[in-house]
Amino acid sequence: MFICILSCEPNPIFIKYNSIKGAWQKDSIQNFLFQNEDKLIHTNSYLILRLNEKYRYNNIFVIITVSNSSETISRDTIEYEVADNFGKLIGSKMININELNLLHKIDFQLMSKENYFINIEHAMRNVNETIGVEKLEGVLDVGYKFEKDK
């Protein structure tokens, strides 16, 4: 039974976290590098956030750029909901940390023998303000994951 449960779990082919010290600075771009040594792979990709109770928003805006060695493949500005209507953080909870796996791309093709560069920056603003939030408190880790598409 245990083997059956493990075999049903998604199989990440890449997962990496960057630890944020204190607060995610506006100008701090989180960088990830994935080298696909395998054949062509169809994947789903995810932004992973670990937040604590100091995070004071119900959402987060991020800019995710995916490039290979020769071009920018995609650049997306995405809003993700991170809390319910009552302000309670969603995702899996471990003590006082909430981990959220937020879908970025479905059926994303990774070419064989190719390097992929993922850059993630936050684009948060307070209501009725044009200048972005300088320090985004409550973000502990930013991660990125590719899983094989079934």
Whether 84 is in a domain gets the answer yes
Note every long-range contact of 122-127, with CB atoms under 8 Å and residues 24 or more positions apart, other chains counting: 122/24, 122/26, 122/60, 122/61, 122/62, 122/63, 123/61, 123/62, 123/63, 123/77, 124/57, 124/60, 124/61, 125/61
| 142: containing domain | 10-148
Query: Residue 73 sits in a domain of what CATH number?
Result: 2.60.120
Whether 32 is in a domain gets the answer yes
Structural domain total, the chain: 1
> Could you list the pLDDT tens digit for every one of the 150 residues in the chain?
334 444 455 679 999 999 998 899 999 999 999 999 879 999 999 999 999 999 999 999 999 999 999 999 999 999 999 999 988 999 999 889 999 999 999 999 999 999 999 999 999 999 888 899 999 999 999 999 999 987
Whether 5 is in a domain gets the answer no
Whether 3 is in a domain gets the answer no
| pLDDT for 8 | 53
Whether 86 is in a domain gets the answer yes
| pLDDT for 104 | 98
Whether 4 is in a domain gets the answer no
pLDDT digit string, tens, across residues 19-62: 998 899 999 999 999 999 879 999 999 999 999 999 999 999 99
